[in-house]
Amino acid sequence: MRPRRLRRTPALRSIFQETHFTLNDLVLPIFVEEDIDDFVPITSMPGINRIPESKLAGEIERYARAGIKSIMTFGVSHHLDEVGSDTWNENGLVARINRICKQTVPEMVVMSDTCFCEYTTHGHCGVLDDCAEVNNDATLVNLGLQAVVAAQAGADFIAPSAAMDGQVKAIRSALDEAGFTNIGIMSYSTKFASALYGPIREAGGSALKGNRNGYQMNPMNRLEAIRESLLDEAEGADALMVKPAGAYLDIIRDIRGATKLPLAAYQVSGEYAMIKFGAAAGAIDEHRVVRESLGAIKRAGADLIFTYFAMDIAKHGV
């Protein structure tokens, strides 16, 4: 046998390539900040800015023109409180972001990141109880409120990232009761307590002291990772997600084999930063590493990839 017969020419390599990804498979996460006038570069994520709310519409148009089909929206709030109540205010930042996106480009798929950490004074993803622990069930109620406000404002998908037990069921019930039976849930179903979220803490201006190890998953656990996603399927999730992506390809593969739901993977801020800074140092070829990393996530079994490189692929191709 000579496997190299399949690799002799570019045409041969091309027809025998097993995995392909396209712009269609990518979702662009964006950060929208209220009460600022100009774009603010996120220094730990070269090339990515916080978008002023006043310039969001123009950005959405630019993404649509470039061929982006879907975005994930994060708010950077100036109205923090103990519980993150701005998220369920009908004129709060979550509502306004969704309204602007949906009104500007109705066909853009808008996924609303649904959490509280960008809206709480303490930076945790929910309500704190007396022992400064996140109270799971009190947070579920608020997740339902936020989901309904986001749906009302135009979100196509609710994407709960708070890592609370039962959050998909709580959100599904709240949406259905409010009449939003057609709004989907993209669950961050297997979310690890990863050190690779470092840069986004800057992006979101997070106030977090401490860690999220009490509610996000231990990166060393495989069986629990599968179980977490299957629980969300049973609770009514329309799509599942593994986060982060690149260091968890085995988990993506396992979950892909365990469910028939669409499966997403989130190439997080730290994965983006490592490629950007590695390339800036001259150690790796950014263009090629970006495509290799996204192709590998696809090959592992992800149907959709959340990536800050989506505009790069839109502009320069796969």
Residue 243 annotated as catalytic: yes
Candidates 125, 159, 268, 294: give the one binding Zn ion (CB under 5 A).
125
Site membership for Zn ion, residue 93 (CB under 5 A): no
Nearer to ligand PBG, 229 or 267 (CB): 267
Nearer to ligand PBG, 123 or 184 (CB): 123
Site membership for ligand PBG, residue 125 (CB under 6 A): yes
Site membership for ligand PBG, residue 21 (CB under 6 A): no
Computed on alpha carbons and rounded to an integer, the radius of gyration of the chain in Å comes to 19
Strands (E), 173-284: 184-185, 190-191, 240-243, 263-266
CB 236 within 8 A of CB 185: yes
From ligand PBG, Zn ion, none, interface partner of 197 (C-beta below 5 to 8 A by class): ligand PBG
Site membership for Zn ion, residue 117 (CB under 5 A): yes
Cis peptide before 244 (omega within 30 of 0): yes
Q: Return the SS3 of 153.
A: helix
Candidates 68, 268, 273, 305: give the one binding ligand PBG (CB under 6 A).
268
Candidates 139, 187, 229, 269: give the one binding ligand PBG (CB under 6 A).
269
Count other Cβ atoms within 10 Å, centred on residue 47. 12
Give the C-alpha separation, 164 to 189, whole Å: 10
Q: Return the SS3 of 50.
A: strand
Candidates 60, 110, 117, 153: give the one binding ligand PBG (CB under 6 A).
117
Nearest to 60 by CA among 72, 77, 75: 72
Site membership for ligand PBG, residue 114 (CB under 6 A): no
Residue 191 annotated as catalytic: yes
C-beta of 83: minimal distance to Zn ion in Å? Answer: 13
Q: Considering only residues 156-185, where is the footprint of ligand PBG by CB under 6 A?
A: 161
Catalytic residue from among 55, 102, 191, 276: 191
Characterize 238-257 residue by residue with b for buried, 16 or more Cβ atoms within 10 angstroms of its Cβ, and e for exposed.
Answer: bbbbbbbbbebbebbbbbbe
Q: Return the SS3 of 27.
A: strand
Residue written as tokens 């979702």? 27
From ligand PBG, Zn ion, none, interface partner of 269 (C-beta below 5 to 8 A by class): ligand PBG
Nearest to 220 by CA among 251, 245, 241, 189: 251
By rule CB under 5 A, what count of residues binds Zn ion? 3
Nearest to 184 by CA among 291, 70, 54, 55: 70
Count other Cβ atoms within 10 Å, centred on residue 69. 17
By rule CB under 6 A, what count of residues binds ligand PBG? 11
Site track 32-71 with ligand PBG (rule: CB under 6 A), x = hit:
----------------------------------------
Site membership for ligand PBG, residue 31 (CB under 6 A): no
Candidates 50, 122, 124, 212: give the one binding ligand PBG (CB under 6 A).
212
Answer positive or negative: Cα dihedral of 71, 76, 82, 88.
negative
- Dig out the tokens for 134 from the structure: 């996140």
Nearer to ligand PBG, 19 or 270 (CB): 270
Active site residues: 191, 243
Q: Which residues bind Zn ion (CB under 5 A)?
A: 115, 117, 125
Q: Which residues bind ligand PBG (CB under 6 A)?
A: 113, 115, 117, 125, 161, 197, 200-201, 212, 268-269
